[in-house]
Amino acid sequence: MAMNNNMALAAVVAVMIGTVAGFGAISFLPKPAKDLQLAAAPVAASAAPEGSDLATPAPTTAMVAAPSPLSPLHDAAARGDLDALQTLLAAKPDLMAIDRDGNTALMIAVQAGHVTATRLLLAAGANPASPNARGATPLIAAAGQGFGAIVRQLLTAGAGVNAKLPDGTTALTAAARGCFDATATSLLKSGALVETQDSAGKSPLMHAAARCELQFVKDLVAAGAQIEAIDREGRSPLWHAADAGRLDTSVALLERGAAIDHADANGETPLMRVSFHGHVALTGALLAKGADVTLANNNGNTALALAARNDEPAVARALIARGAKINARNRFGYSPLMIAASQGNKSVASALIESGADRSMRSSRRERARDLATAAGHYDLAAEL
C-alpha cells in the first residue's frame, strides 16, 4: 500500500512539476521554423552560397528540384547543361511552362544553383518573379540557399524583393534563417523590408538573433530592424538570443537598449530561459546587466526554480548570490528545493541546502522535499533531506 501511495504521489508530481501543466513553456525549446519545401530531390549544384561561382556540394534536398519528364528545358536547367539549354532556347520555347511542382525552368536552374543557366534563361526572357505551386519565387529559393550571385542576377532582372511565401517568408527571412549575411545585404540594398514577419510573427532579426553570427545581427539593426519587436508568442530578439544561448548577441542587444526583463506570453524572461538551459556565462551577463531574479512565469516559477528543475547548480548559486528568493513557491506550492528533490537533482539540491533552503516546507499537497524525492524513487537524495 505504501508503494502504491508513493507511485500515485510521483504521478501527481510529474503532472504538477515536470510537465506542461507545471512548467508551461519551459519544458522544451520551440521547434525551429520548417525548411522551405520547394521541390523533390537533390541534383548537382554549380553555385556556392554567398555568391561564389565555384562548384560546391549539392544544396539541401528541401531546396532543389528533380528533373521532370515534362520538359527537355527543365531537364537541361536541372543539369546545368549549357549546350542543351542554348539549343532549346534558340527554338523560343515557352519559358512559363511548369513541371509537376509548378516550377519553371528558371526556378529549376535557381534551385540547383546554376549561375550561368540562370543568366541564359533570364536573358531569354524568363520571368524572375514567377512562383511555383508552393508560392516560392526564384529569389526566395536562391536567398534561402545563400546563392548570392543568383540573387543579384534576379534582383537586376526585376525580381520582387518583398514577395512572400504563404507563410509570410520573404527572401530576407529565408536568408536570415540560413545566416547568409552577404545575401541579406544585397536584398536590403534592393529595398527588402527589414521588419517583415512570417506566420509565427518572427522578423529576420529574431531568426538571426537565435542562429547567426553577431555581425549579421548588427547589419539588420543598422538597417532599421526593431529591437523591441515581438512575435506571436510575445518573444523579442533578445528573448530568442538568450533562449539559444547566444552570449555576444544578447549582450549587443542589451547595449542597444533591449528590455532585459521582457516576458513572453508564458511570463518567461530571458533570464528564466538561460537559467533553464544552464547557460552559466549568459546568466552571469544578464545578472550583471540587472536582470530581475525575483520575477516568476505564469506558473509561478522563478529563474531559480527552473535551474532547480534542470539541475544547474552553478546557475542556481549565481541567482542566489544576486538575491533570488530561495524558498519562493510556484502556484502549486513547490519551492526550488522541492522541485529539485522531485527530479532527483542532487547537485542543485545540495547547493540550495547550503544556501539555507528550508527542508521542512510543505507544498499545497502537504509534501516535503523528502516526500517528493521518495515518491520519485530518489532514495539517496531523500536520505539527505
- Could you list the pLDDT tens digit for every one of the 385 residues in the chain? 444 444 444 444 443 444 333 344 333 222 333 322 233 333 333 555 554 333 333 343 334 444 445 699 999 999 999 999 999 999 999 999 999 999 999 999 999 999 999 999 999 999 999 999 999 999 999 999 999 999 999 999 999 999 999 999 999 999 999 999 999 999 999 999 999 999 999 999 999 999 999 999 999 999 999 999 999 999 999 999 999 999 999 999 999 999 999 999 999 999 999 999 999 999 999 999 999 999 999 999 999 999 999 999 999 999 999 999 999 999 999 999 999 999 999 999 999 999 999 999 999 899 999 999 999 999 999 999 8
Report the number of distinct structural domains present in the chain: 2
Is residue 66, in this structure, part of any structural domain at all? Answer: yes
Of 134, 162, 193, the residue that ends a domain is 193
Is residue 274, in this structure, part of any structural domain at all? Answer: no
Is residue 58, in this structure, part of any structural domain at all? Answer: yes
Is residue 269, in this structure, part of any structural domain at all? Answer: no
Is residue 160, in this structure, part of any structural domain at all? Answer: yes
Indicate whether 131 and 58 sit together in one domain: yes
Indicate whether 298 and 356 sit together in one domain: yes
Indicate whether 42 and 136 sit together in one domain: yes
Indicate whether 153 and 43 sit together in one domain: yes
Is residue 242, in this structure, part of any structural domain at all? Answer: no
Is residue 129, in this structure, part of any structural domain at all? Answer: yes
Query: Residue 88 maps to which CATH number?
Result: 1.25.40.20
Is residue 245 a contact partner of residue 214, using CB atoms and an 8 Å limit? no
- Sort residue 25 into left (φ over 0), alpha (ψ -120 to 50) or beta: alpha
335 lies in which domain range? Answer: 1-30+293-385
Of 132, 159, 193, the residue that ends a domain is 193
* Residue that has been written with the C-alpha cell 547568409 in this structure: 180
Indicate whether 13 and 56 sit together in one domain: no
Indicate whether 62 and 116 sit together in one domain: yes
Indicate whether 22 and 36 sit together in one domain: no
Indicate whether 6 and 130 sit together in one domain: no
Is residue 14, in this structure, part of any structural domain at all? Answer: yes
Q: What global pTM score does this model have?
A: 0.81
Indicate whether 112 and 26 sit together in one domain: no
Indicate whether 142 and 105 sit together in one domain: yes
Is residue 95 a contact partner of residue 126, using CB atoms and an 8 Å limit? yes
Indicate whether 47 and 162 sit together in one domain: yes
Indicate whether 46 and 164 sit together in one domain: yes
Determine the 3-state secondary structure of 296 from DSSP. strand
State the DSSP string of 189-257.
Answer: HTT--TT---TT---HHHHHHHHS-HHHHHHHHHTT--TT---TTS--HHHHHHHTT-HHHHHHHHHTT
Of 140, 159, 193, the residue that ends a domain is 193
